[in-house]
Structure 1
Amino acid sequence: MEGLHQLEIIIMLLAVVLALTTIAQRIGIPYPIVLVLGGLVLGLVPGLPRVTLHPDLVFLVFLPPILWAAAYFTSFREFRRNLRPISLLAIGLVLATTAGVAVAAHTLLPGIGWAEAIALGAIVSPPDAVSATAIGKRLRIPRRVVTILEGESLVNDATALVLYRAAVGAAMSGSFALGHTLFEFVFAALAGVVIGIGVAWITRWTLCAMEEGFSQIGVTLLAPYIAWVCGELVHASAVLACVAGGLYLRQSFSGAVSPATRLQARAVWDLLTFLLNGVIFILIGLELGVLRDAMPAGQVRPVLIAGLVISMTTIVVRFAWVPLAALIPRWLSAKLRARDPLPSWAGIFLVSWTGMRGIVTLAAALALPVSTTAGSPFPFRAEIILISFTVILVTLVVQGLSLPPIIRLLRFQEEDDLKQEETLAREHAATAALARLDQVATETWAVMEQVERVRLRYLRRLERLSKASLLDEDTGPDTASFQRLQHEAFTAERRALIGLRNNGTISDDVLHHLEQELDVASLHLGVGERRMGRARS
């Protein structure tokens, strides 16, 4: 009966997520904000069952697929090009925010030790990949800003969690070893990346060895959990394992599965990440109600005030750090100034303002030990958790709600570089398809009339490239030879597009878009179950 009760709660949460998401779309507010507020309201309703989050549930169930998917859809070219600002934010800003919050907490909370204050700083320092992806991509933000924000939120968790573990260990044992912490950080980062790449490589090999589409999709769903568990077992960064795995698998996924499987996998992953994001944001709101009831009435108000002050501290530190991180490297390097001029102040302001906290802050706060090594209660545990949730609520609601009007006021110019890359990629892919048709025209299975028919499609596309579509052409006769001809042409296009992506001519975003068109066209022409083959991908 207890299991049935929990199932009813899950069904209720999913129904609420769908309803609130629909409302968010109608009123034009990013859905994570509406879900958090909706969960907070539900948590205040008397008589409803209380939902208590276990940190292991958040870390193991929710975080691996969300991080893996966010990394998978991140352009590796753009990530690599912006590695310097991403590193300055993911490492430097986390350290600066942790220090600022620790000082503020030590001032605001009488009796709190430096170890507990640093633990609080590490908990609230990393902006969240879920929040950045769910809110940032739904707004018209410059592509470089989106890349920096997503890259920061994918990597900064590793820095924050190493600091968090060191601070919690010091609070429990009363001792702190700087050298051990630095070694742990380097080992966790390197081992996490190696594990992620290793899991992704094994996943690709497994996908190539399998034929059934649903089994292949199941392997992709299992991969992030394997990467996370392996990272945890060797005390590496499970976060970086998922990030590295998602980035690496994307580079080779095109040749591993068929177009039909790729389209199905995209649908399954979109639904999974949507539901996980929705449930976790509404659980954040529900947990705030649980915390309110758990705290003594006289302590809630001063702790909430401290939470508001610390929320402002995180915002102010970010506003101070981001401009300095943009200016100082260019002051020190003339080569950098020439190669990468200073971004617009509108972009710098937007990066400074966009720092929503979410799932990692939630899980780290709840994972605080109940007692120390000596058996005494962990100092200020309840206060740290409530302050952490306050920071989540303030940054999500205040910063998230203000983003649309701020972006409208900043009036960013529409970017056309991706359109230019797409045009170049279409032309290159059509040319590759024509070259492949010339090669197979002499094969015994090729019918010249059908070869010319397919060739004419690509010639017409080159003539009217600005109106190109892979679905508006005559499909031709439904014969085995014609389908093979079309499969050969599509394969040549895919390989040409992947080659452009691999040499940095086009971004992963352009490849995703054009590859999806090719996949749909493959299904339309009856060759959606055929893989590209074992060629370089």
Structure 2
Amino acid sequence: MENLHQLEIIILLLAAVFALTTMSQRLGVAYPILLVVGGLALGLVPGLPTVMLHPDLVFLVFLPPILWAAAYFTSLREFRQNLRPISLLAVGLVLATTAGVAAVAHAVLPGMGWAEAIALGAIVSPPDAVSATAIGRRLGIPRRVVTILEGESLVNDATALVLYRAAVGAAVTGAFSWSGALLEFVFAALVGVAIGLGVALITRWTLCATEDSFTQIGITLLAPYIAWVAGELVHASAVLACVAGGLHLRRHFSSAVSPATRIQARAVWDVVVFLLNGVIFILIGLQLGSLRQQIPAGQFQPLLAAGALISATAIGVRLLWVPLAAVLPRWLSASVRRRDPLPPWSHIFLTSWTGMRGIVTLAGAMALPVMTAAGAPFPFRAEIVLISFGVILITLVGQGLSLPPLIRLLPHLEDDRAPEEEERLAREQAATAALSRLDALAGEDWLRADQADRLRAYYGRRVERFAGNGTVDEDCSTEAGLAFRRLRHETLSAERRAVIALRNDGRISDEVLHRLEHELDVEALRAGIGERRSERPAPSG
């Protein structure tokens, strides 16, 4: 019966996730924000069971595939190009935020020791990879800003978790060593990256050894968990293991599996990541009900005030650090200034303001030990958990809701035209390669001349259309792309309605319909309109 009760809770949470996600699309609000608010509202409903979020569940079940997927869709080229700002944020800003928050917490919470204060600072210092990806890309933030935010959120967890472990160890045992913490950070980072690369290499070899699509997709789902568990077993950074594995596998995944597997894997991963994101964000909101029970009634309001002050400190440190990290390196090195001009101040401010906390912050707070080595309760555990929740709420909901109007107000936020030029180059080179392959196949017994001529004419037109002439071809422009996708949507919808009508009239079988519909779906994906449905469905018969 207990298992049945838990199943009912899971079904209720999934239903809430689907409803709130649909509502977020209609309201134009990023779904993590609405899910946290919805979970918060559900947590305040009297009579509903309290849902306790176990930290091991977050670290082991939710984080590995989410981090792996976020790294998989991160451009390694752009990650390398922005390595300096990413490092300054992922390491320097985490240290600065931890120090600032620890100083404020030590001052405003009477009796809190430095070990507990540093632990709180390490918990709330890293912005969340899920929040950055889910919110940043949906709001049309410039590409370089998104790359920096995603790169920061993928790497900063390693820095924060090393500080967290050192501070918690000091609070539990009463001993702390700066040299030990530094060695632990270096070991965790290097070994974590090595484990991730090793898991990715083994995964790549396994994918090449099998041709079954379902097995290959299952291997990709298993890989992040293997990387995470292996990192935890040797006390390395499991976060960096997943990040390194996802980045490396993306470089070789296209050549390791078939097109059908890639389409199916993308669909499976989209669903898995969506469900994990949705459940974890609504669980974040639900934690308020359990947190209220752990805090005496008279201390709840003062702790909320302390949480607001600590949230302001975390936001303020970021607002100061990001401009300094952008300006100082260029002032110190003239050569850097020449090849790396200062970004627009609107980009710098947007990077400074976008620092939403999420699942890592809550999981770190919930993972605090209950007892010290001496058998006493861990000092200020309930207070740290509640303040961490307050920081998540203020940064994710407050800052997240402020981003759309802020983006409209800030000047010079339009993205560059580089992706359009790169797309033109890719199309032209791909068509040229196809023509070269046709020439190499000339004379083969199985090759039909009429088919080769049709393909040669087709690729010849593509080469002429996308040949480089120093400017971006109008067919690669944003406006032309939108017009073409709209036209392609109309024609593919007409084809789909026609074959459905034939099936409804009994003139073709469902098997034929499914085969033709799959071809139309693949063509829609190629045209970038795979998420659109037909506007005028055929009448059912």
Identify the TM-score tier after normalising by the shorter chain: 0.7 to 0.9
Which residue does the alignment assign to 1:292? 292
Q: Which amino acid aligns with 1:451?
A: A
Structure 2 CA distance for aligned equivalents of residues 209 and 520 of structure 1: 33
1:312-331 pair list within 5 angstroms: 312-331=312-331
Which residue does the alignment assign to 2:269? 269
Which residue does the alignment assign to 1:54? 54
Which residue does the alignment assign to 1:191? 191
Structure 2 vs 1, CA of residues 353 and 422 (structure 1 numbering), >3 Å: closer, same or farther? same
Which residue does the alignment assign to 2:427? 426
1:465-480 pair list within 5 angstroms: 465=466, 466-467=474-475
Structure 2 CA distance for aligned equivalents of residues 520 and 413 of structure 1: 23
Structure 2 CA distance for aligned equivalents of residues 514 and 366 of structure 1: 47
Which residue does the alignment assign to 2:400? 400
Cα deviation per residue 1:436-465 (whole Å; 9 max; x = unaligned)? 110012222211221111111111222334
Instruction: Work out which structure has the larger RCO, using CA pairs closer than 8 Å and 6 or more positions apart in sequence.
Output: 1
CA contact (8 A) 1:188 1:235 kept: yes
1:122-521 pair list within 5 angstroms: 122-411=122-411, 412-465=413-466, 466-467=474-475, 517=526
Which residue does the alignment assign to 1:40? 40
Structure 1 CA distance for aligned equivalents of residues 206 and 128 of structure 2: 31
Which residue does the alignment assign to 2:533? none
1:16 is paired with a residue whose SS is: helix
Cα deviation per residue 1:211-257 (whole Å; 9 max; x = unaligned)? 11011000000000000000000000000000000000000001000
Structure 2 CA distance for aligned equivalents of residues 442 and 375 of structure 1: 83
CA contact (8 A) 1:132 1:356 kept: yes
In structure 1, stretches of 5+ residues that fail to align are 473-512, 522-537
1:255 is paired with a residue whose SS is: helix
Once superposed, which parts of structure 1, at least 4 consecutive aligned residues long, lie more than 6 Å away? Answer: 468-472, 513-516, 518-521
CA contact (8 A) 2:68 2:242 kept: yes
Q: CA deviation at 1:416?
A: 1.4
Identity of aligned residues (%): 73
CA contact (8 A) 1:227 1:241 kept: yes
Q: CA deviation at 1:518?
A: 9.7
Instruction: Select between 363-372 and 404-413 the one with higher mean Cα deviation.
Output: 404-413
Instruction: Select between 360-369 and 443-452 the one with higher mean Cα deviation.
Output: 443-452
CA contact (8 A) 2:74 2:247 kept: yes
Cα deviation per residue 1:317-343 (whole Å; 9 max; x = unaligned)? 001100000011001000000010111
Which residue does the alignment assign to 2:120? 120
In structure 2, stretches of 5+ residues that fail to align are 467-473, 477-483, 489-521, 531-541
Q: Which amino acid aligns with 1:447?
A: R
Q: CA deviation at 1:414?
A: 3.8
Q: Which amino acid aligns with 2:416?
A: E
Q: Which amino acid aligns with 1:75?
A: S
Structure 2 CA distance for aligned equivalents of residues 52 and 31 of structure 1: 22
Structure 2 CA distance for aligned equivalents of residues 324 and 100 of structure 1: 16
CA contact (8 A) 2:71 2:247 kept: yes
Structure 1 CA distance for aligned equivalents of residues 159 and 464 of structure 2: 52
Q: Which amino acid aligns with 1:282?
A: I
Q: Please, what is the CA RMSD of the aligned residues?
A: 2.0
Structure 2 CA distance for aligned equivalents of residues 282 and 145 of structure 1: 27
Cα deviation per residue 1:466-514 (whole Å; 9 max; x = unaligned)? 5489998xxxxxxxxxxxxxxxxxxxxxxxxxxxxxxxxxxxxxxxx99
Q: With the length of structure 2 as denominator, give the TM-score of the two structures.
A: 0.87
Structure 1 CA distance for aligned equivalents of residues 351 and 316 of structure 2: 13
